Amino acid sequence: MEDLLAQRHRLKLDHCCPELDRMVKKKRAFLDTTKGNFFRFQQVVARLPDVIPSEQVLDNDVVSIGSDSDLSDSDSQLLNEQLEQLCPWRKGPFEFFGIRVDSEWQSWMKWNRIKDHAGHLEGKRILDIGSSNGYYMFRMAAQNPLMVLGLEPQSSFYYQYLAAQKYLNLDNLFCLPATYNDMPKMDRYFDRIFCMGVLYHRRSPIRMLKEMCESMRPGGKLILENLVIDAKQNICLFPKDRYAKMRNVFFIPDLLAMESWLLRAGFKEIQCVDVSRTTFEEQRKTKWIHTETLIDFLDPKDPGKTIEGYPAPVRAVFTARAS
């Protein structure tokens, strides 16, 4: 598996800031001495069969790697077993050498909602916050960006990304097992920031938005997807304890409140480009997850409400320009 520093050099990030060097070295030391789930998933990826895929498809709903004819029967069985060890697969779907990984989320549905609003990505520097297993990064890679930097602190998702990248070997993609809080200041560096399904987990959402604005070049574009209340009263839901069984949901704004946050953070040209209720088609149980899913989070007598009685999940996509 490629060394983190080698990846960083390959992506020509050396001029960014010395703090990023220190962060990468810290994460490399962490992976070199890791225990627990990080170590377990590290061993799973290390056991994946070595094979060069005959083809790859990044611009389709399914991120597809290789063909079933690229592998022997024994290697195909080994690959399937190791991919199952990386469950749960939240984002996708993927296809590894004919093995369909049917993820919980049909992530192509969200990608289709945002892709036409993200602008051209060729030659752009992109940050994907909370990148999960890299599904959206791989879709971005089809447009040949200069680089995409993903941040994903969850062990299984980070190693799912490494499993796919082992075979795709895309030299303009890079991911760190890190949170957004781990990132050093990178003033006016990124052309695009994708922040999807993250902001409602933040105790200080406006502060995060402001930091994102300051890390983008003037005129750089934010693509933000967030849980919202489908109303325009400039109000915000603050769950008493959990929302849809999630502990770490703090603020769910309505559409006007989300716009107000972006304005206060320094963004301009703010647009709400999509509002969609999460459906059972988009998020559902498959054999590739072993946990609860959307149907378990909603009131069985009223799917318009969460199990706690709050409005059921609605997600909005906003775009905005850095000033």
Rounded distance, CA 274 to CA 223, Å? 11
pLDDT reported for residue 21: 80
Measured CA to CA in angstroms, residue 132 lies from 83, 107, 197, 238 at distances of 15, 11, 10, 25
The ranges of the chain with pLDDT < 70 are: 1-17
Q: Report the C-alpha gap between 131 and 128 in whole angstroms.
A: 5
Quote the pLDDT of residue 125. Answer: 96
- Amino acid at residue number 91: K
- State the pLDDT at residue 24: 85
* CB contact at 8 A, 140 and 168: no
Of the candidates 169, 159, 173, which has an alpha carbon nearest to the alpha carbon of residue 65? 169
Q: Count the domains in the chain.
A: 1
Q: What is the pLDDT of residue 1?
A: 47
- Which CATH number does the domain housing residue 54 bear? 3.40.50.150
**What secondary structure letter does DSSP report for 104?**
S
| Half-sphere CA count of 231, side-chain side, radius 13 A | 10
What was the pLDDT predicted at 12? 53
Query: What is the extent of the structural domain holding 103?
Result: 4-322
